Chain A
Amino acid sequence: MIYRRELSALLLSISIFSSAAIAATPGVLIKSETIYALPSSTAKPITKLSKGSTVNVLTKQGGWLQIGVGASKGWVRMLSVRTSGAVVSNSGADLAGIAQMATGKRQPGQIVATAGVRGLSEEDLKSAHYSAQGMSELASYQVSTNTAKSFAKQGKLIKQSIAYLPAPVDSQ
């Protein structure tokens, strides 16, 4: 009986693992990074991966991604892994290269048909006329400071004291 229970638990974990594996998203490291055993920089380091390494992203937890690298698994800062456009091999990509990839070249295979879908073009904005009704509607949804605080309390949101981030050097 015990054996059966363990077996079914094993099977269950296998099926969870395989569904995660199927859902895995390909990612590329945008900087060289340490891979940790747990989602924390104080956890045991497993290995280091260099910029441009491709990984499989399994799950996200806060600022950390669990990734599969070959047969092993580990955690890496989510801001170090780019998943969009990760299928493209770009181990040497720098910021400029990424920008070019994201803005310059059309990718015909990925274009979604949008005919008939209402968008918001420059022309729409240019020809727009003031909507007094829209503004009074908007104002009707405004909430007070106290209402917002109660809402935060309901969600168990706890304020944190964090300084703004300085601009990285290469943005200047």
Chain B
Amino acid sequence: MKKTMISLLLTTLSVTSAYAFDLNDLNNVLKQLPSNNTSQTTDNIGDTTKSNKLDPAAVLLGAIKGTSVDDEIQIGRQVSGNLLGASPLVKDAKLQNYVNLVGRWVALQSERPDLPWQFGVIESNDINAFSAPGGFVFITKGLYKKLNNESDLAGVLGHEIAHVVRKHQLKILQQSQIIGLGADALGREVKGQAALQNLIGSGAEIMSRKLDKSAEFEADRMGLVLAARAGYDAYGLPTVLEEIGHVAPGDSSVALLFKTHPAPDVRFAMLSEAVGDRLDNLPAGKELANRFYRIK
């Protein structure tokens, strides 16, 4: 349900980097991009058509501008790899396969069906879910155990898929002026995975950052619809929100979730307002409780 791609770039670089960076305005920064990037022009700098694997600034520009899916995936891969470094996948191949089947089917109902969607259940008793640019989606074992059927899972994954489809995390990066800093870093010939990590911040900390409230409500509305489009009972996501609402707010398993998301009761109420009587004529979807894979 949450993930954020904020970058602590400014802090990170000023504290940990040997370089001294100037905060140029965007135009000045863009002029510093290397001339050997043939896919760019000086007056249309963001339109990279190919991924530039080594230049983090170009990677970010391409991803944010939406011109390079490869760049977006590269950012998401870095963040996701860091998350798995903190919390590995649950060692249960059947579980992981099942979640990929459900997730891929739900993602196929979105505007970005062709991303290389990958889904994973991570080894944590926290109640949470995460996503990263490019189609990476994770759900904790703690949240998975709260689910009762396949439509619940579809609703939760739908929320995360919506964040990816709407590029909510990338927008946060943009807002934090990472473009300027990234281009400056590029000018100093900072390259490779380490540089990309610098741009993203420390470890997978970006996943503990808060998205805008309206982005969360939007992801809820979209997640509900994506699950319904996939033929599931549309009410899996609000059912899960109710489940989470039963966990005491002081419980440590929901500490990060509650820090980064509006309260589940509020999210439920917002869904209630958004749905109203709009889905009254929708044919009943499937819950598929029998097929739901239960963690041992």
Contact = CB atoms under 8 A, between A and B. Distances in A.
- On whether the two chains bind one another, the answer is yes
Interface of A: 30-31, 40-41, 60, 62-63, 77-80, 82-85, 95, 98-99, 101-108, 110-112, 114, 117-122, 124-132, 134-135, 137-139, 141-145, 147-149, 151-152, 155-168, 170-172
Interface string B72-112: 00000110111111111100010011011110110011000
B195 interface: no
Interface of A is mostly: loop
B104 A143 contact: yes
Contact of B256 (A102, A122, A149): A122
Given A102-B263, A117-B125, A142-B118, A84 B246 contact: yes
B229 A160 contact: yes
A139 B242 CA distance: 32
A80 B278 CA distance: 13
Contacts of B229: 159-162
B259 to A, nearest CB: 8
Given A120-B256, A170-B273, A130 B120 contact: no
B242 A142 contact: no
Given A83-B245, A120-B122, A138-B120, 18 more contacts: A41-B277, A79-B238, A83-B246, A103-B258, A117-B252, A124-B86, A125-B203, A127-B86, A130-B193, A135-B77, A135-B81, A142-B117, A143-B100, A147-B101, A162-B279, A165-B225, A171-B214, A171-B217
A172 B253 CA distance: 30
